[in-house]
């Protein structure tokens, strides 16, 4: 596998016959990567397993992976969502970033609005 820098924060990754474009940004200690519609946080530090919630009904919050503009809010409080459902579409660096549900839940609060500029780690949606 080879990775070639093709621009500021843009890399072409080649493996056998596949070619992919990966966008990378942020400081080394808290970087992120965007690939194939997914955002990966903490790409510059070793991964540590996250503890699982003790109860399936435990509350959780979805946050912005980077500074971005909220393009669309697709849910409202009381909406039942399934794992993988897109809840919000953000835009950063001319890319659309879908924020998806990490599991089956119910939206308890929407903490942003369309057109709003949100900072990195801003809470966007609360789920339970």
Is 91 inside any structural domain?
A: yes
pLDDT of res. 88: 96
Question: Are residues 90 and 100 in contact, defined by beta-carbon separation less than 8 angstroms?
Answer: no
Asked if residue 111 and residue 78 are part of one domain, the reply reads: yes
CATH number (domain holding residue 78): 2.40.50.100
Determine the structural domain holding residue 121 and report its residue range.
60-127
Question: Are residues 84 and 101 in contact, defined by beta-carbon separation less than 8 angstroms?
Answer: yes
Q: What is the pTM of this model?
A: 0.57
Six-digit token pair at 114? 């369309």
Is 54 inside any structural domain?
A: no
pLDDT digits (tens, 9 = 90+) for 87-96: 999 999 889 9
Is 48 inside any structural domain?
A: no
pLDDT digits (tens, 9 = 90+) for 7-42: 777 788 888 888 888 888 777 677 778 777 777 777
Calpha distance 103→81 (Å, rounded): 8
Percent of the chain with pLDDT over 90: 44
Asked if residue 109 and residue 65 are part of one domain, the reply reads: yes
Give the confidence band of 56 by pLDDT, cuts at 50, 70, 90. low
pLDDT of res. 57: 58
Is 53 inside any structural domain?
A: no
Asked if residue 104 and residue 70 are part of one domain, the reply reads: yes
Asked if residue 78 and residue 105 are part of one domain, the reply reads: yes
């Amino acid at each position: 596998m080879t990775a070639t820098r093709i621009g500021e924060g843009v890399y072409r990754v080649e493996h056998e016959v596949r070619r992919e474009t990966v966008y990378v940004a942020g400081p080394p200690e808290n970087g992120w990567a965007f690939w194939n519609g997914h955002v990966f946080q903490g790409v510059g530090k070793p991964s540590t397993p996250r503890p699982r919630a003790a109860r399936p009904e435990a509350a959780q919050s979805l946050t912005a992976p980077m500074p971005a503009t909220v393009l669309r809010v697709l849910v409202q409080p009381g909406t039942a969502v399934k794992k993988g459902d897109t809840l919000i579409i953000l835009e950063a660096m001319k890319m659309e970033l879908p924020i998806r549900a990490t599991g089956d839940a119910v939206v308890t609060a929407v903490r942003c609005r369309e057109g709003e500029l949100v900072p990195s780690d801003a809470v966007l949606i609360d789920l339970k």
